[in-house]
């Protein structure tokens, strides 16, 4: 009986997707869910550059004692989602895309994303980037727990905006200028490394946007105690995703 019910469920969820090597079509965009092996292959150079250039304070914050050993064990940190999770995500992405298309903001023009696929990989441990969603290149990395988060749609919008920031830097410069963000200095070893920001600390209306590492307590203190004020890229992603 259990086997029979399982077969019916598989057939039901299979009909919800057009399946071709993990590529799906929803009403808006192509969606690509990457396997753990795919992520390691596609982002190998990106991971290597990101971690090998990370300073000791940021490594310590992530409890990484040996960079090379960490890189050699990256395969442990990624996750292959099941068909039910693909169903959840496909519906959430459809909603997220609809909401994104309604955003009106100087320096963010969502129609530019219309023909760009949603590319998503998945992590399964908090040892990798604190279990936080983030992006590398144009690929969103979600923790598997994000899939079951009530704020999944907001998370997807937030990360999609980070993808936009990477793909359309001229638009983001327009956003920074319009919102009066100014570069203060290059980041130092005491600034938290974040794959979704650039190498600079910014200010706006006299407020410095940053997250500083307290190496004594191996912790982070952000402006206003809120990651939203870590960097203008984060401010933009939080502000726009929360407004949807």
29, 90 Cβ separation under 8 angstroms: no
Model confidence at 19, pLDDT cuts 50, 70, 90, reads very low
Residues 6+ apart with CB under 8 A from 228: 234, 235, 238, 239
Query: What pLDDT digit, counting tens, does each position of 35-94 carry?
Result: 999 999 999 999 999 999 999 999 999 999 999 999 999 999 999 999 999 999 999 999
* DSSP state letter for 20: B
Model confidence at 15, pLDDT cuts 50, 70, 90, reads very low
Residue 223 predicted with pLDDT over 70:
yes
Region 106-112: mean pLDDT is 97
Cβ of 118: how many Cβ atoms within 10 Å?
A: 26
Q: Where would I find the H helices in the chain? A: 2-14, 36-42, 44-52, 56-61, 67-72, 83-100, 152-167, 169-178, 232-243
pLDDT for position 171 = 98
Triad 153, 156, 161: Cα angle to 5°: 130
**How many angstroms separate the CA atoms of 180 and 187, rounded?**
19
Model confidence at 10, pLDDT cuts 50, 70, 90, reads low
pLDDT for position 168 = 98
Residue 190 predicted with pLDDT over 50:
yes
pLDDT for position 174 = 98
**Average confidence score pLDDT of the chain:** 91
pLDDT for position 40 = 94
156: its two tokens? 């997807």
37 burial (CB, 10 Å; 0-12 / 13-18 / 19+) is exposed
pLDDT for position 197 = 98
Which of 212, 216, 206 is CA-nearest to residue 230?
Answer: 212
Model confidence at 244, pLDDT cuts 50, 70, 90, reads confident
C-alpha torsion sign, points 193, 197, 201, 206: negative
Q: What is the pTM of this model?
A: 0.89
Residue 226 predicted with pLDDT over 50:
yes
Please list the helix, strand and coil fractions of the chain in percent, rounded to the nearest 5, in that order: 50, 20, 30
Residue 27 predicted with pLDDT over 80:
no
Q: Where would I find the H helices in 32-137? A: 36-42, 44-52, 56-61, 67-72, 83-100
């Amino acid at each position: 009986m259990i086997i029979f019910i399982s077969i019916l469920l598989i057939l039901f969820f299979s009909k919800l997707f057009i399946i071709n090597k993990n590529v799906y079509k929803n009403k808006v965009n192509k969606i690509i869910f990457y396997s753990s092996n795919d992520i390691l292959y596609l982002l190998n150079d990106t991971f290597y550059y990101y971690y090998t250039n990370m300073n000791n304070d940021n490594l310590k914050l992530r409890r990484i004692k040996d960079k090379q050993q960490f890189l050699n064990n990256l395969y442990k940190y990624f996750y292959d989602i099941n068909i039910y999770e693909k169903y959840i995500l496909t519906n959430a992405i459809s909603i997220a895309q609809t909401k994104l298309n309604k955003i009106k903001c100087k320096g963010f023009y969502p129609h530019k994303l219309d023909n760009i696929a949603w590319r998503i990989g998945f992590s399964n441990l908090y040892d990798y980037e604190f279990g936080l969603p983030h992006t590398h290149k144009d690929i969103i990395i979600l923790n598997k727990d994000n899939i079951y988060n009530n704020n999944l749609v907001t998370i997807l919008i937030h990360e999609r905006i980070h993808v936009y920031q990477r793909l359309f830097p001229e638009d983001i410069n327009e956003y920074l200028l319009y919102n009066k963000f100014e570069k203060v200095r290059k980041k130092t070893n005491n600034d938290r490394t974040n794959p979704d920001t650039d190498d600079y600390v910014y200010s706006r209306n006299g407020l410095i946007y940053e997250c500083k590492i307290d190496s004594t307590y191996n912790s982070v203190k952000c402006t206003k105690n809120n990651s939203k004020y870590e960097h203008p890229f984060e401010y933009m992603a939080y502000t726009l995703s929360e407004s949807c």
